[in-house]
Amino acid sequence: MASASWRGTVGVIKPTYGSGSLVEFIRLLPEGVGCIPMYAGIKEHSEQGYLSAMDNYHARVADLAQIGVDLIHPEGAPPFMLRGYKGEQEIVRSWEEKYKIPIFTSGISQAEALRALGIKRFVGCTYYRDNKLNEVFTRYFADAGFEVLGMEGMQVPPGEWENISPEDIYAHLKKSFLKHPQAQGIYLLGSGAWRVIDTVPVEEDLGVPVVHPVAARVWCVQKRLRIRQPVKGAGRLLSELP
């Protein structure tokens, strides 16, 4: 790899062609960590659209393995969570056995981050208004050993996710937590609507950690590449690096 990637290179597979979370991810990576993005090209945000994308994930994982990256991260929680916690584990295990490269999904990074922060009981916040999908997410984390007090979705159409304001995000997260004040933390599903920086005021005001998908992704990259470089101003997970 080029000298700019002297700490290692991670290959990511974006579910869609949106660039916002990719820009944020690269910005938060430690210096010396390279990133090669590829795309699963999901166009339909539905159960069938997510499930049918798996062939593309298989192909992109093979492409990244051939390039020779140090770590592979297929992004997108729904395509994997729809297969269940155990089903996702089996897919990842088969990839690692075949390509001999460490691989983690969004769900894996988020579950590990929740455990690292000592969160066993949490409230989840999503921007999906489809209750069936929110139930899938709840079941995934319950099977992973967590107590999910609620998976609170926003009533926002798929095409409008990136237009949610920081004020609306703050209000949704705070309202969701106040419905479940016994929660030890807040979990966010999806990285297409909210930025990591949007979660900092919530952590400060409510006094509980917030697990954001991009922050969990960066934390997991550092963990697997054996790097410890705290990031200030991006939430408790990256500032403390538990």
From first to last of its 242 residues, what are the pLDDT tens digits of the chain?
446 899 999 999 999 887 678 999 999 999 999 999 999 988 877 788 888 889 999 999 999 999 999 999 999 988 999 999 999 999 999 999 999 999 999 999 999 999 999 999 999 998 877 778 899 999 999 999 999 999 998 876 656 656 678 888 889 899 999 999 999 999 998 877 778 888 889 999 999 999 999 999 999 999 999 999 999 999 999 999 88
pTM of the model: 0.93
pLDDT score for 162: 67
The 10 Å Cβ neighbour count of residue 1 is 14
In degrees rounded to 5, what are phi and psi of residue 146?
A: -105, 160
Q: Which two tokens stand for residue 212?
A: 């954001």
Query: In 3D, which of 19, 30, 80, 3 has the Cα closest to residue 238?
Result: 30
pLDDT score for 1: 46
| Bridge partner list, 153 | 126
Question: CB-side exposure of 219: number of CA atoms within 13 Å?
Answer: 28
Cα–Cα distance list, 143 to 5, 17, 89, 140 (Å) = 36, 30, 12, 5
Cα–Cα distance list, 235 to 79, 214, 217, 223, 238 (Å) = 27, 11, 13, 17, 6
pLDDT score for 151: 94
In degrees rounded to 5, what are phi and psi of residue 96?
A: -65, -40
Amino acid sitting at position 72: I
With tokens 């403390």, the residue in question is 240
How far is the C-alpha of 114 from the C-alpha of 99, rounded, in Å?
A: 28
Burial class, 109, CB count within 10 angstroms (exposed 0-12 / middle 13-18 / buried 19+): buried
| Bridge partner list, 9 | 34
Query: In 3D, which of 4, 22, 10 has the Cα closest to residue 225?
Result: 10
